[in-house]
Structure formats: structure tokens, C-alpha cells
Structure 1
Amino acid sequence: MSGVTGGSLRATATRIIHQVVHQGQSLGQLLPPALEGLPAEERGRLQDWCFGSCRWWHRLNAELQQRLHKPLPKRQGLLESLLILGLYQLRHTRIAPHAAIHQSVETARELGSHQLTGLINGILRKSLRDGEPEPGSEAMRHSHPQWLMAKLSANWPEQWQTILEANNRKPPMSLRFNPGHHDQTSALAALADAGLTAHPGQLAAHAIQLDEACPVDRIPGFNQGHFSVQDEAAQLCTELLELAPGQRVLDACAAPGGKTGAILENQPALAEVVALDSDRERLGRITENLERIDANARLVAADAGDPGAWWDGAAFDRILLDAPCSGTGVIRRHPDIKLLRRETDIRDLADTQLRLLEACWHTLATGGRLVYATCSVLQQENTRIIQRFINGHMDAQLVPITLDWGIETGYGRQLITGERDQDGFFYACLEKNPAHWA
């Protein structure tokens, strides 16, 4: 990974934050190679510093700009990220303030900015002495980009502040137990025997929520496929698909394979599962996940929106379209979304979502069911996509979701971020209805 090699942990974190903010790279790209070979304690610290600095960047940067008498020289761009990290440590961690300040100054030297160590020291000491300033704007108060707050408040006038608050909290670690190895009672007992306290999920049948996050190597039987890490909201797709033996199933945007695995665990007697993804490299992740749980699917590297390139003409009884989206429902897990996503992205994503839905619909058997899912809380990607699709397809029938979670939108069900401590997810169920064919 370019720019994140060697040096102290703070220097590594500073470079990662800088690459997210100024080079448009994601924490998902940058962190894994940086974490390799680090002791567990340092891995946790690096993750917290990077995730926390991105989570609170809008608020911390607003404070920083108030304290700078003039902008930092462009050639010293890394120092902005170092100061953001220092402010994060002062405002949101238990690191001793004098240690956070001293080590920030030492890191400035390490990054080759000896002449600006006085500035770093002065800003952080004044920040400590004065305390956090009153937020001067809604963007600073909620630490979100203005465009996203405007969309959320327009879409969800009663819930938008709840969503923002949930986005700024650390998410719980949720597991899916494999019903081939456990029921709920034995799953909880196995975790307890390993010293992990947990409780049953609230929405999904095979969900367990850990009281505290832990490395996967502490989860008993993880490498043997007894458990998988998956948010409970993401597990709901298997119930909505209404899987049965002998069905042919398409997971249309399958990587990294969590939902493919859930489908195969939920109904081992399916005739075939085709796991499709446009990114050939990401198919490797699906292979790893399926091998771990001892399950099989036919993996295909292709664009789900171009069936002519991959479809063999045999119709699917069930299709899961977990469409590429803004990720605005999982910001608490991926806080860099607040820095990477742009308002102009949403229209392009909506066009892609409708294109994929149109294409997959052609491969669905008459009487079959398609579940449309996103981890977005924006209506432009959810209800409006389903509304546009149904208006253009006489053979598409919306199946009401009568479960007791989320908000019924008239075109599917929206789980609001933070509701029952879940991620924000949208689901709609469509069936191909032969009665409307002419």
C-alpha cells in the first residue's frame, strides 16, 4: 500500500487518514495491509484511531480550522491529518492528554516537519486548555457532510437526527450461527464456554450479538464454519427469499459472500446457487467464505446487468439482488463513507440499481421471487427504484413484508440505522405474476 509503510503507529494512522480524505481511498483498502504483523493491541489502536478520526472528521476539522490562523502549507498536508488525529485522541479517547500532545509532536518530526512542531504543540495545548468549542453549524454538531444531512432530513423528517446519532456510535459485533452446527441455545453456550458473553438477536432467526467485539480467532468453531460475522439486518434476506429444497437461486451481487453463505446454510437442499460478481478478485473472498462453512456455489465473474454474457437461459426460482449502493445505512461500520461519498454519486447509483433490477428480472421464473436489498437509507435508491420498476412492469407484484421491523414505505420496508441497534437496510420482495401477461 502506497505511503503506509514503516514508522510509528501514529505516523501510519496519519498517512491512512490523509489518503482517505485527500486521495479518495477507503479504510477497507488501506487498513488490512497496515494491520498485518501488528500485535493485537496495536491493531486495535490503529483501527480505532483511523475509524474514529474519520467518524468525527467533520467536527474535528471545523474545530481545527477555527484554531488555525492561516491554512497549513499544501506541502504539509499530512499535518492536517496528524492534528485531526491528535484532536480525536483528546476528545474521544482515554489516552493521557499530555501523551497525545507529546507523541503528536514527535510524529511531526518523524514526518519531516521539524519546523512546525511548535504549531502542532500550540494548537493541541490550546485545544486541551479551552475545551471543545460549541458547534458552529449542523454539519459540525453532527459530524456529517451538509448534503447528506439535507437528504436525510428530507427523506426522514422524524428520524434523521436519530440516524445521525446512530452513525456516530460504534456498532455491535453480530454473528450468524450455522444451523448445521448449532441451535440458538448451543450457540450461546459455546460462546459462553469460550468466555464470550452474548445474547440472541432481535430480528433474524440465526443472529447472535456479542456484548463486546473480539477477534474472530476467539470465536469457537469459526474456522470450521460454526459462526460467521454478519450484521443482523443483512441476515434478513434468507427469510424474505422463502427458500425451499430444489430451487435454483441467484445471488446477483454476491461478494464478499456473506449472504451466499447464509442462503446455503438456511437451505442446504437447493438445486443450485449461482454467486455472481463483476469483480473477479472479489470472487476469491466468496470462495474463502464458502470453503470455511463447507458450502458450494457456482461462482461467475460477470456484470449482473448483462445477462447475455453469463446467463444460460435456465430461469431462477429465487434471486437476491443486494444492489451496489451509497452505504448510507452502514456508516457506523464504515465512517469513511462520510468523506468518500458525494451527492452526485446517488443518481449514478440509482441508475445502476434500476439497470440491474431490469436485467435480473428477465432471468426470474414465472412465479419466482426477487428480493431487492440495499444498505442505504436514501429513498432515491430504495422506494423510488421499486416504484419506477413496478410502474414499468405489469408482471411485477410487490409482496408486502409483514414482519415487525422497520418502516413500511408502500414499496418495501426500511430499517432505520440504530433501530434495535441495527444497520440501515431496505428490502422489497417482488414476484413475477403470470396473471398479468397478455
Structure 2
Amino acid sequence: MKSKNIKKSSNIRADAAKILYQILEEGQSARECLPAIQALHKDQDKAWLQEMVYGVLRQLPILQFWLRELLDKPLKNRFKIVEHLIMLGFYQLAFTRVSQHAAVSETVAATQSLNTIAMKGLVNGILRNFIREEMANQAAPNEQIASGLPKWLYKKLLAAYGKNTPTLLENMQHKAPIWLRVNTTKTNRKAFSQALTESGIDFEIPTSHSQAIILNKGYDVTSLPGFDNGWFAVQDGAAQLAAEYIAPQAEDNILDCCAAPGGKTCHLIELQPQLKSVTALEIDKVRANRIQENFDRLGHSAQILTGDASQPDSWWDGNLYDRILLDAPCSATGIIRRHPDIKWLRKAKDIEVLALLQSNIIDKIWTLLKPGGTLLYATCSILPEENQQQIIQFLARTANAKLDESFGNDATNKPGRQILPGDLQMDGFYYARLLKSI
């Protein structure tokens, strides 16, 4: 069931099962495999396909529980994909408005497109048993399954957030809104809001952000007014705080480390057009190209370097930076509601590896900062070992580093600001602002 063997399918449910198989069995990300299959379908079907795939990923533990209850033994080899098709059927019956008849008949029909017609009777029987036994109305057997998370992540969040965990888990299951950042070098929020109103776009203006607009419905952002002219960028509200927190000043020399796709770099330029220089560093060449694409559309320019943040000797020119934004590689657990495949692709063992990488990068990048300079450490994680614990350990081993006491509610035992999914409609994010002694 490798992606290279994908052929055009006449059944959208078969294609949804293929995507689920590639994510859950082959470890591909949705960004890798979803667009390729969506390209085979009409626009309205593309949206349905994503909705179904993401829905199954959000509710996977309960779907797997139901599958184990109704399937005598696991399917193997080329029939393994049928398990994903059955869970897709469960999802339609339990969580969508698809009629029972369509959910069953169309899901059963998908076996032909998957070349698993021998499983037609099995799929039909299981889905009808699911309806007959009213399994969708039964409570989940435990809180972890109800959470929609893998066991390891559920346990970590419970340990970190205690009595606040239920609210956090609920917010992680909700779909994230689309945030836009108005490009103030091209227009302003008032003028852009007027253009959206005239186009019949439903939106709101958050008072917490100076350049932001939140769309109240799903829209193709490329069709919004001013897209081709660079009037706005898509950027979550939590990510929009980065440029404001680093507070760029005229004539600053700034490094945006791990910069792709370049949204924060662009925001820095918009906040302070009189910067001396901006360098966007990215280890991945393909992702570095995306930075340039965003620069081109928004009308910005800056130096783009392809290099490893943990090995600055291979790319650094020797000039110290006034400010550094380090958006460190992380588990991305703060954006699961936006990318639900993350929780199934990430494993418990990854966290220790990521924490070690973060520690290595911040130590190396710190040496590139001027005395008196500012480093803003950021992740889109909600795990303490990548955030507060990381900063506590860095401060303990770095004599010339201290917390910026004017930043948020910093405390020695809980430094920085941890934003949780759903806070002011934002994604989960972490920030800590550090100052280098003169």
C-alpha cells in the first residue's frame, strides 16, 4: 500500500482509507500523503476527504476500541487496509451527519476500489452490528480512550497539568480557527477588514493582537482579497506573538533560527522595517525554499541560509546578533488540534531525543548573541521537558544568561509563558525571553 502505487480511485472512502493506512501504518505525515490523493478529486470532495481523515485521527482510540470489540482477529497483509476502512465507517456513523445507509453502503463499496472485495461481507456485517448494538451511544471505557490521545501522551499531560487536564484535552479535540496576520507594509487591518466585509467573509478582530484577523469559517485563503498582492499571511495567534516578544529595534542584527516557513521572519520585518539585517536559518533545503516563496508574495527580503543550528561554525559569518529568535525543533504537541496526525507519528521516546537536541542548539546559538542581547526561546509544544525544564536547565549551566523579568509572569521554578491550545483561540506555544549579561 505504498504511496507510489496509488492510482485514481472512483471511491472517496477508499482514498480516505489509503491515507489513513499511509499515516498509521507507514508513518507518513498528512502533509506528505493527503495532498497527492486530494489532487485526484473535485474541490468539494477534497474538503470532505480531509474532514474524514482528520476526524478518524482525532477519535482513533475509541474507533480502535470498537474495532477490537467487533473484529474477531486482526487483518493482515493486503487486507490490513480494511481495518482503516471499517474505522472510517465507524467515524461516519458516530460523529457525522452522513446517513446510516450511505455510511454503510458506500464504505462497503469501497472494498472493490481497494481490491479487497473478499472483505465486502465482513465490512457490511461489522458496520451493521455497530448500528444494531448502538455502540456509538456507549461511554468510552476509560479517560485515555475518551481523550483521543495515545497512552504515553495522555499520561504526560495528566502529570503536567493535573486537574486542568480535562479542559486541555477538550480544547485539543476542537478544530483550530484560521488566523491571518495583516502585512502592514502593504495595507492595514482596517482596510483589509473592509475588503473582507465587501467579499462576504465572516471574521472577527481579536483585541489581543495588533495585526490579526480570525476567520470564523473555513475558506480557501488563496481566494481571499489581497492574497496575490501579499496583504496577509496565515499565522496562528500564538506564533504572531514571537515577533512582538522579541521586540525588534531599528538597526538590529537579527537571527531567526529554524525559520521555515518564514512567517516570523516576515513579521519581524513588518514590525521594524529599519532593521540592519535579518537572517533566516533553516536546515531543510525544501523548507528554506518556502521561506523565499513567502518573501516573494509578501514583498519582503532577507538573507536565507541553509544550515544546522547545532553547528553554527558551518554557516555563521562571525558577526554577533542583537536578537535571536530560536523556534526550536519540538514535539509539536501544541498544534495537534490543527494537525491530528502528529499524536500518532510522534512516539514517547522522541521527547528525550528532542530535548537533547534543543539543549544542544540553545547552547550553540547562545554564543552568537551579543552581550546585552536578547534570545527568545520558542516551541509549539506543551510538554514541560521541552519548555520550562529546558530553560531551567539552561539557566543553571549558563552563567551569563538570565530571565527577562519584564516578560510575563516569569518565576525561577516556572520560567516563560506556556500558552495552551484554545487560550484566546490560539495554538499551544511556549516562550521564554533570555538576556545575555554585558
Report the Cα offset of residue 403 of structure 1.
4.8
Whether 2:422 is the aligned partner of 1:418: answer: yes
Which residue number corresponds to residue 45 of structure 1?
A: 48
Measured in 1, the distance between the counterparts of 2:329 and 2:35 equals 22
Deviation at 1:139, TM superposition (A): 2.2
1:197-276 to structure 2, matched below 5 A, reads: 197-276=202-281
Share of identical aligned residues, percent?
38
Taking only aligned residues, the RMSD between alpha carbons, in angstroms, comes to 1.7
Residue in structure 2 matching 1:112, options 99, 112, 115:
115
Answer yes or no: is 1:342 the counterpart of 2:344: no
Alpha-carbon distance in 2 for matches of 1:129, 1:205 = 53
Distance change (3 Å), C-alpha of 1:328 and 1:259? same
- Aligned to 1:23, the other structure's residue is in SS state coil
Is the CA contact (8 Å cut-off) linking 1:401 and 1:413 kept in structure 2? Answer: no
For structure 1, the 5+ residue unaligned runs are none
Aligned counterpart in structure 1 of residue 431 of structure 2, from 415, 427, 434: 427
**Aligned counterparts, 1:80-229, within 5 A:** 80-131=83-134, 132=136, 133-229=138-234
Cα distance in 2 between the residues matched to 1:288 and 1:181: 17
Which of 377, 393, 405 is the equivalent residue of 1:400? 405
Q: Which moved more, 1:158-167 or 1:284-293?
A: 158-167
Q: 1:31 to 1:196 in 2, by over 3 A?
A: same
What does residue 15 of structure 1 align with? Answer: 18
The CA deviation at 1:114 is 1.6
Distance of 1:390 and 1:290 partners within structure 2: 35
Distance 1:202 1:331 in 2: 25
**Given that residues 408 and 417 in structure 2 are in contact (C-alpha distance below 8 angstroms), is that contact kept between their aligned partners in structure 1?**
no
CA distance in 2, matches of 1:401, 1:108: 60
Question: Offset at 1:64?
Answer: 1.1
Q: Deviations over 1:387-420 (max 9, x none)?
A: 111111111011135459x999631110111122
Question: Contact (CA 8 Å) 1:207, 1:232: kept in 2 or not?
Answer: yes
**Moved segments of 4+, more than 6 Å:** 406-409
Q: Which residue of 1 aligns with 2:67?
A: 64
Structure 1 position 193, deviation (Å) = 1.1
Mapped contact 1:401–1:412 kept (Cα < 8 A): no
Contact 2:254-2:278 within 8 A present in 1 as well = yes
- Aligned partners of 1:351, 1:402: CA distance in 2, in Å? 25
Question: What is the CA–CA distance in structure 2 between the aligned matches of 1:38 and 1:275, rounded to whole Å?
Answer: 36
Following TM superposition, by how much is the alpha carbon of 1:147 offset from its aligned partner in structure 2, in angstroms?
0.9
Distance 1:46 1:327 in 2: 23
> What secondary structure sits across from 1:158 in the alignment?
helix
For 2:114, give the aligned amino acid. L
Q: Say if 1:86 and 1:124, in contact at 8 Å, map to a contact too.
A: yes
* Deviation of 1:74 (Å): 3.6
What do residues 327-376 of structure 1 show as CA deviations (whole Å, max 9, x unaligned)? 11100011011211111000000001111101110111111111000000
For 2:117 and 2:280, the matched residues in 1 are separated by 53
SS at match of 1:397: strand
> How far off is 1:182 after superposition?
3.0
Secondary structure of the 1:170 match is coil
**Alpha carbons 1:407, 1:415 under 8 Å: kept:** no
Could you list the per-position Cα deviations for residues 13-53 of structure 1 after superposition, in whole angstroms to 9, with x for gaps in the alignment?
11110011111111011112222363220110111111111
Pick closer, same or farther for the CA change 1:192–1:368 going to 2, 3 Å.
same
Does the 8 Å CA contact 1:252/1:320 hold for their aligned counterparts? yes
SS in structure 2 at match of 1:94: coil
Partners of 1:94 and 1:164 in 2: CA distance: 24
TM-score computed with the length of structure 1 as normaliser: 0.95
Residue pair 1:400, 1:412 contacting (<8 A) in 2 also: no
Match 2:303 to one of 298, 314, 319: 298
Give 1:225 deviation, angstroms. Answer: 0.9
Q: Name the amino acid aligned to 1:129.
A: R
Q: Does 1:78 align with 2:74?
A: no
How far off is 1:431 after superposition? Answer: 1.0
Partner of 2:381: 376
Contact 2:312/2:364 (8 A) holds in 1? yes
Aligned-partner Cα distance in 2 for 1:140–1:256 = 34
The separation in 2 between residues aligned to 1:364 and 1:59, in whole angstroms, is: 49
Residues 219, 227 of structure 1: 8 Å contact kept: no
Aligned partners of 1:408 and 1:126: how far apart in 2?
56
In the alignment, the residues of structure 1 paired with residue 158 and residue 221 of structure 2 have an alpha-carbon distance, to the nearest angstrom, of: 37
Q: Secondary structure of the residue that 1:156 maps to in structure 2?
A: helix
